[in-house]
């Protein structure tokens, strides 16, 4: 059994779609980072998306953990032309598409971006590789809201529409054991 400790990166304070744009994390809440660090297993492997908000958060949690190379396949959803734009602006420019994107996620993609299913497949390949290369280990993965939701979807056997409304806060912990069947131990835990 491989145990994945999913951590959402520190807050970005963005009020717009933030996917592949490289936006820094605010890591000034050192008490929250210390509590999160204490809740994670010592000696675990540590990997992150290659976006700076995830890299910096992982760096803050690296003491006593072996750092694996950053992975681009653990990036947030690619929002394409919507990245950096506000929800109201997108709803006005693409009313039907933006509504479908949230109401029936799956194969709906923003212009120039990727769908939920495409992002979930990308992340699943990364998780499969990590599980294959490090079986039976504790692996701390610092990633993004959408990435963590795809793993909840897979572990809970739910549809994208069932998990998309879940909350995954910055600096929260979601723990999933890859076993048969997968086990979800905690979701959006704030130590």
Cβ atoms of 108 and 101 within 8 Å: the answer is yes
pLDDT digits (tens, 9 = 90+) for 23-80: 999 999 999 999 999 999 999 999 999 999 999 999 999 999 999 999 999 999 999 9
pLDDT digits (tens, 9 = 90+) for 74-100: 999 999 999 999 999 999 999 999 999
d(CA 101, CA 181): 29
d(CA 61, CA 140): 9
Domain coordinates of the chain in residue numbers?
2-79+116-189
The pLDDT value given to residue 95: 96
Residue 119 pLDDT level (bands cut at 50, 70, 90):
very high
Q: Go through 119-132 and write b for each residue having 16 or more CB atoms within 10 A of its CB, e for each that does not.
A: bbebbeebbeebbe
Token output for 175: 């723990």
Token output for 148: 């963590």
Other Cβ atoms less than 10 A from the Cβ of 72: the count is: 11
Cβ atoms of 7 and 169 within 8 Å: the answer is no
For the purposes of burial, counting CB atoms within 10 Å of the CB of 184, is it exposed (0-12), middle (13-18) or buried (19 or more)? middle
CA-to-CA dists, residue 146 to 19, 47, 131, angstroms: 9, 17, 20
What's this model's pTM, rounded to 2 decimal places?
Answer: 0.96
Q: For the domain bounded by 2-79+116-189, which CATH number is listed?
A: 3.40.50.1240
């Amino acid at each position: 059994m491989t145990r994945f400790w999913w951590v959402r990166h520190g807050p970005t304070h963005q009020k717009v779609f933030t996917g592949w744009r490289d936006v820094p994390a605010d890591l000034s809440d050192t008490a929250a980072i210390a509590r999160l660090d204490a809740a994670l297993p010592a000696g675990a492997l540590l990997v992150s998306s290659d976006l700076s908000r995830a890299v910096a958060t992982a760096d803050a949690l690296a003491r006593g953990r072996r750092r694996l190379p950053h992975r681009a396949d653990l990036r947030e959803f690619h929002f394409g032309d919507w990245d950096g734009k506000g929800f109201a602006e997108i709803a006005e420019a693409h009313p039907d598409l933006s509504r479908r994107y949230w109401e029936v996620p799956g194969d709906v993609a923003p212009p120039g971006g990727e769908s939920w299913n495409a992002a979930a497949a990308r992340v699943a390949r990364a998780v499969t590789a990590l599980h294959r290369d490090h079986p039976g280990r504790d692996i701390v993965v610092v990633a993004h809201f959408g990435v963590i939701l795809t793993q909840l979807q897979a572990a809970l056997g739910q549809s994208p529409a069932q998990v998309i409304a879940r909350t995954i806060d910055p600096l929260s912990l979601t723990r999933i054991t890859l076993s048969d069947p997968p086990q979800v131990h905690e979701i959006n835990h704030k130590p």
